[in-house]
Amino acid sequence: MNTGNASLLMKKLSVPVLFLILGFLLIFAGVQQKQDNMFMVSAVLMFLGSILSLLYSWGNLKSNILYIIGVAAGIIAMVTLYLSWKSVDDTATYTANYNLCRGKAIQNLTDIRYAQKAYSEVNGTYAKDWETLVEFVKNGTVPYVVAEGNIPARLITTDERDFLYKDNRAIDNNMSENEAYRLSKSPICPEDLKGFRRDTIQVSLIETKFKNKSYSDSRKVAGFGKFSADSLPYIPFTGGKKMWKLSVKDSVKVGEDYFPAINVSGVMPFAKIEGTKAESLFFGKITTNETAGSWEDE
């Protein structure tokens, strides 16, 4: 072989050899780093392609055989491309489901906390089971202050002071809300307090909190769907098969005082990264009167 032929052969073989080495290194790195199947298939295809190119350049492979192998390799490449796309699509779907599930779970726990606090204000303790809480959300009432009119920005008069306090105390501060309320109910109600109202009435919990327009619109925008009291006990995306764990105590000592305590917790059906440990969410502590949520510490 003369120098010219050797030089030409080196040029023909240099690129296939380069890709052969690269393919080998990719396979080796894939095995060492435990890359996914798509990476390994691509690395193997590159390695096999470089071998075929090397054989063809050397003159040991006929063009028709190379054509057949090329078609087969093309089909394999298309399948690999589809599987790669599907893997990306599946990952995107999983991530979307995780985000939606987590958002619904946080909303769910926030609603449970609100309902339990309302129940505690009425009954002095938290609801001990889901049936009691759901029934309270559906049919319970809570106190609501109806506020109409404004407190006049003035001092009370001496006649108003005599009526309210029946003494000669100094009149140094503007009228308070309590003074305005008492005067509005009195036989000497001044003109600027006519129509003033501060009354506490009982209203439906579900109508005022969970069916008002602002709350309903926020759920719609977030993609959570309509509120259902019956769904409160269940962890989202579990098909009603897994419930939040509910633990309550009627009284725990905090400092010198005693308060009811609650903890609601559960494990989500999705992890932040597929294949890793699923995330837990909770609010409250059974040993104190704290009701902070785990997501609020992030």
Cα of 164 vs its chain's centroid, Å: 53
Cα(128)–Cα(253) distance, rounded to whole angstroms? 19
Instruction: Using alpha carbons, list the distances in angstroms from residue 67 to 47, 62, 79, 80.
Output: 17, 9, 18, 20
Asked if residue 239 lies in contact with residue 260, where contact means CB atoms within 8 angstroms, the answer is: no
Instruction: Determine the pLDDT at residue 120.
Output: 94
Which residue, chain included where needed, has tokens 């305005």?
A: 180
Q: Please give the model's pTM, rounded to 2 decimal places.
A: 0.64
Q: Are 229 and 118 in contact (CB under 8 A)?
A: no
* Residues of the chain where predicted confidence (pLDDT) is lower than 50: 1-2, 4
Q: Could you tell me the two tokens for 99?
A: 């985000």
Query: pLDDT at position 30, please?
Result: 62
Residue 291 makes CB contacts below 8 A (sequence gap 6+) with 113, 117, 262, 283, 284
pLDDT of res. 248: 96
